[in-house]
Amino acid sequence: MKAKYLNLFTDFGFKKIFGEEANKNLLIDFLNALLPIKSKIKDLTFKNTELLGQTSLDRKVVYDIYCENEVGEKFIVELQKAKQNFFKERTIYYSTFPIREQAEKGEWNYNLKAVYCIGILDFTFKDYGNEAEFKQVVHDIKLRNPEGITFYDKLSYIYLEMPNFHKTEGELETRLDKWLYFIKNLEDFQSIPKIFKDEVIFLEAFEKAELAKFNREELDNYEANLKPYRDLYSVIETAKSDGKKEGFQDGIIEGEKIAKLKMARTLKENGLSLDSILKFTGLSEDEINAL
């Protein structure tokens, strides 16, 4: 059956719904559902998603979405489709840029605005916390001491492990539940679920996501994003199976790595940008450059 709505796990789909100025009310509603009550957002300003280091030799960063609210708090919102080496380290490195750019010339008392790094993950960590935490959808990480007391509350890393979200329409309870259900299942909907019928913000989101309303250029861009996403999923699933059959010490991990390397080579040969290959495969820049 042909999809009626776009896939939100593509770069195009994610930025179409959450990264456009005309749709920032959707991003505001999503962030307000995710963040504590004290951090409710009234307005957002989108900022340059490409930030450079202090010198020409420093590595640059490119965010999916980077914005600031009315009181100067910073929000990085990233979609990550595949797990990569040192993913958590990458997130922490990304968070240093909105911290550092707050430095003021001349006399300054080092008073910083809060920074929120939000990752929507199409994979699970599997190496964080205890068995119960393996199954959690939302991980809210702050700087705490061994007794669990928050040392600094202006830096938050919030990860959404989407494969752990299994609620059906009838089980949705909170605003965040509705957004997670929307994000995870949008491409599979053929009509708007009943629970969203009276929700103006979600009706607007469905309208923005309807493929029939895209122009030719938007459809071409979307298809260009969608094919690598589907190809990667197919290759990884095949590699997992092959890895087990061939007796790898760890068939799943080894199989996934082989699949990602094959996909990266294909994407590279087809001229896809390094940033896009990094996102689609989760490999490191060095691994991709070595192909």
**pLDDT tens, 59-116?**
556 788 999 999 999 999 999 887 776 788 888 998 999 999 998 888 888 999 999 9
Least confident of 36-45, 84-93, 224-233: 224-233
Query: Could you tell me what percent of the chain has a pLDDT over 90?
Result: 50
| DSSP one-letter code for 86 | T
Q: How far is the CA of 67 from the CAs of 28, 70, 171, 238, in angstroms?
A: 10, 10, 32, 38
Cβ–Cβ < 8 Å for 101, 54: no
What dihedral angle (degrees, nearest 10) is formed by the CA atoms of 177, 180, 181, 182? Answer: 120
Buried b (16+ CB within 10 A) or exposed e, 202-225: beebbebbebeebeeeeeebbeeb
Q: Distance (Å, rounded) from C-alpha 202 to C-alpha 17?
A: 11
Q: List the one residue out of 175, 218, 215, 223 whose CA is nearest residue 195.
A: 175
Q: Distance (Å, rounded) from C-alpha 120 to C-alpha 102?
A: 25
Phi-psi region of 225 (alpha: psi -120 to 50; beta: other; left: phi over 0): alpha
Joined together, the tokens standing for residue 211 give: 């493929």
pLDDT of residue 132: 54
Q: Check residues 141 and 48 and name the one with the higher pLDDT.
A: 141
Residue type, 199: E
Query: pLDDT-based confidence at 262, cuts 50/70/90?
Result: confident
Q: Distance (Å, rounded) from C-alpha 2 to C-alpha 35?
A: 35
Q: Judge whether residue 247 has pLDDT over 50.
A: no
- Indicate the burial class of 110 (C-beta count within 10 angstroms; 0-12, 13-18, 19 or more): exposed
Least confident of 1-5, 137-141, 187-191, 261-265: 261-265
Average pLDDT score over residue span 244-267: 61
Q: Check residues 130 and 284 and name the one with the higher pLDDT.
A: 284
- Helical ranges in the chain per DSSP H: 11-18, 24-34, 87-100, 131-134, 175-185, 200-209, 216-245, 251-269, 274-281, 285-289
Residue type, 159: Y
pLDDT of residue 170: 95
Residue type, 26: L
